[in-house]
Amino acid sequence: MHRFGKRNQDDIELIAGLGVDGDAHAGATVQHRSRVAVDPSQPNLRQLHLIHAELYDELNGRGFGIAPGQLGENVTTRGVDLLGLPRGTHLHLGRNAVIEVTGRRNPCRQLDDFRPGLMQAVLDRDEKGHLVRRAGVMGVVVADGSVRPADGVRVELPGLPHVALAPV
């Protein structure tokens, strides 16, 4: 069942090529309803959603009152510059799980349905005036494994040249 938020869990099981076991967005092909309507055979580049806890710190400082999981992410990180990672970065979670970062989350109107003004709060402009999406990153699972809240994250950058993340 597709829901906006996700409840916190003691652990999640990641399955290579599919995503989070039991998650509505798990699958080799797109599972996001709007993308299925366009072309259900597209590869699923959004098997896993990660948000940096620092975004929650900022949003809560602005009065939004949001907790991890409420924006639909599967994994919340701290101390990792998710938005600064290049496409193809591998994130090693827990003992065995590996995620390949595919792009930035393209936030949708559901954010404003959850908290009015939230959509604008996770969008920004860079020095050239280009739109910057700050609602986390998406990835695909490339190696199975269990992930628990206290697990660390090891970042493995892809080879050069690096390609900046685009919305997926």
Contact 29, 44 (CB under 8 A): yes
**Structural domain contains residue 85:** yes
d(CA 76, CA 53): 6
pLDDT in tens, 42-76: 999 999 999 999 999 999 999 999 999 999 999 99
Each residue's pLDDT tens digit, 8-48: 899 999 999 999 999 989 999 988 777 777 788 899 999 99
Q: Residue 75 in contact with residue 67, Cβ under 8 Å?
A: no
Q: What is the pTM (predicted TM-score) of this model?
A: 0.93
Q: In the prediction, which pLDDT does 2 show?
A: 53
According to DSSP H, which parts of the chain are helical?
Answer: 33-38, 53-61, 110-114, 118-121
Domain presence at residue 167: no
Task: Give a yes or no: residue 66 inside a domain.
Answer: yes
DSSP letter assigned to residue 84: G
Does a structural domain hold residue 163? no
Domain count for the chain: 1
The pair of structure tokens assigned to 154 is 């090891």
Q: Is residue 87 part of a domain?
A: yes
Residue 15 φ then ψ, to 5°: -120, 120
Confirm whether 125 is domain-assigned: yes
Average pLDDT, stretch 125-132?
Answer: 94
Identity at 111, one-letter amino acid code:
L
Establish if 110 belongs to a structural domain. Answer: yes
Name the percent of the chain lying above pLDDT 90.
84
Q: Is the residue at 124 inside a domain?
A: yes
Residue 31: its pLDDT value, please? 86
> Which range of residues forms the domain containing residue 128?
12-156
Strands (DSSP E) contained in 29-158 are 48-52, 75-77, 90-93, 97-104, 123-125, 131-133, 137-143, 145-147, 153-156
CATH code, domain with 115: 2.40.33.20
